[in-house]
Amino acid sequence: MFKLFHRIRHHARGTGTMIDFKEQKMQLLDRLERSGYINKIVREAMERLPREDFVPDDVKVSAYEDRPLSIGLGQTISAPHMYGMYSTSLEFQQGKTTKILEIGTGSGYQAALCAEMLRLSGAKGHVYTIERIAELAKRAKDVIKKLGYEDLVTIITGDGTLGYAEEAPYDRILVTAAAPRIPEALLGQLGEGGLMLIPVGEMHGCQTLYKITKTEGTIKQTEISGVAFVPLVGKDGFSV
C-alpha cells in the first residue's frame, strides 16, 4: 500500500517557529507553473512529495526555496525548477513500460519524483539510480522506503559513468551531475527511441544541459540551457 507522507508543519530547529510547508510549496509550484518549468503531472507529483524529507535538518527551513541546498559530503539537492525541467521531458504514457536510469541519486528526490509520475500517469516501469557515495545511497534508500517507493526504485552504489548494464537498455537516462563529455557506456545503454538529459562542461565552470535522443541508431544532441551541477566523478567522468 502506497504511503503518502505530507508534513504540513514543522518546527524550525532550535527556534520554536512553525513552518507552513504546505503554503510554501504551493507558492513555489505556482511560480514554477507560471514560468513554464512544470506541467500538470509534474506539479501533482511535486505536491505529493515532501521535499523537506530529502534534506538535512539544518536546511529544512529552505526546502521550498528555488535554489540548490547542501545535503552534505560535498553534494546538493538541485533547485526545484531544475527538477521541473528534467521531469517535464519524461513523457510517460499510460500502459507503456518506461525503464529509467538515473546517474547521481543524491538525496533520492528525483528518483522518487519519477516513481510518483509513473504512478500518476498509469505507466509501468522502474527507476534504477546509481550513487557513488555509500552514505548518500543509504540515506536515499531510507527515505525512499519511508515514502513507499521501494517497489519502483532500486538504488545502486557504484560508478555512474559506467551506467548499469544489467538492466539496459533504458528508455530514459537522467544524469544529475556534470560530465566532461557524454560517457560512452550511457550512450550504449540508451534504448531505441530513448531520451537522455545530461549536463556537460567544466568541473566548476561553464556547463550546458543537453537532450540526447536515439532514433534508428542515430544520436541527436540538442542544447537546452546553461546549468551549474556538481561534477560527475568516475572512470569516464572527472577524477577527484
User: Domain containing 219 — which CATH number?
Assistant: 3.40.50.150
Handedness of CA 135, 140, 141, 147 (dihedral sign): positive
Q: Between 56 and 16, name the one with better pLDDT.
A: 56
C-alpha cell at 73: 559530503
Query: Catalytic pick from 62, 78, 107, 121?
Result: 78
Whole-model pTM: value is 0.90
Kindly give, in sequence order, each residue whose CB lies less than 8 Å from that of residue 93, ignoring residues fewer than 6 positions away: 121, 123
Residue 150 belongs to a domain: yes
Handedness of CA 230, 226, 162, 172 (dihedral sign): positive
pLDDT grade for 18, boundaries at 50, 70 and 90: low
- The chain-wide mean pLDDT, for the chain, equals 91
Let me know if 107 is a catalytic residue.
no
Residue 68 belongs to a domain: yes
Residue 223 belongs to a domain: yes
pLDDT digits (tens, 9 = 90+) for 201-214: 999 889 999 999 99
Q: Work out the average pLDDT over 181-199.
A: 96
The H-assigned helical ranges of the chain are: 21-34, 40-48, 80-87, 109-121, 134-146, 184-189
Handedness of CA 169, 210, 108, 27 (dihedral sign): negative
- pLDDT above 90 covers a percentage of the chain that reads 84
Residue 238 belongs to a domain: no
pLDDT grade for 66, boundaries at 50, 70 and 90: very high
How many domains are there within the chain?
A: 1
Range of the domain at 47: 11-227
Q: Cα 88 from chain centroid?
A: 12
